[in-house]
Copies of this chain bind each other. A is one copy, B any other.
Amino acid sequence: MKNYIKELRSSSKLSQAELAKICKVSRQTINAIENDKYDPTLQLAFNIANALDTTVDRLFVNNPKYSKT
């Protein structure tokens, strides 16, 4: 699932490490999610959205076509 974490994080002038700290996860978790290695848990998705002053629906773009099979 595509997301705009990198873009919004850059706008907020936060490093991956800083965002990770706010969200209470490892820097590598933020990095992996930004690079679409896997999706975050729903809770973490909300935490990241809050940290970046946006919503889950704006931050993550789900293509319903590619729903889980």
Name A's B-contacting residues (CB within 8 A).
1, 22-25, 39-47, 50-51, 53, 55-57, 60, 62, 64, 66-69
Contacts and interface: CB of A to CB of B under 8 A. Distances in A.
The oligomer's copy count stands at: 2
A41 B42 contact: yes
Contacts of A24: 66-69
A64 B45 contact: no
Contacts of A51: 67-68
B42 A67 contact: no
Q: Which of A39, A42, A62 has the most C-beta atoms of chain B within 10 angstroms of its own C-beta?
A: A42
A49 to B, nearest CB: 8
Contacts of A57: 55-57
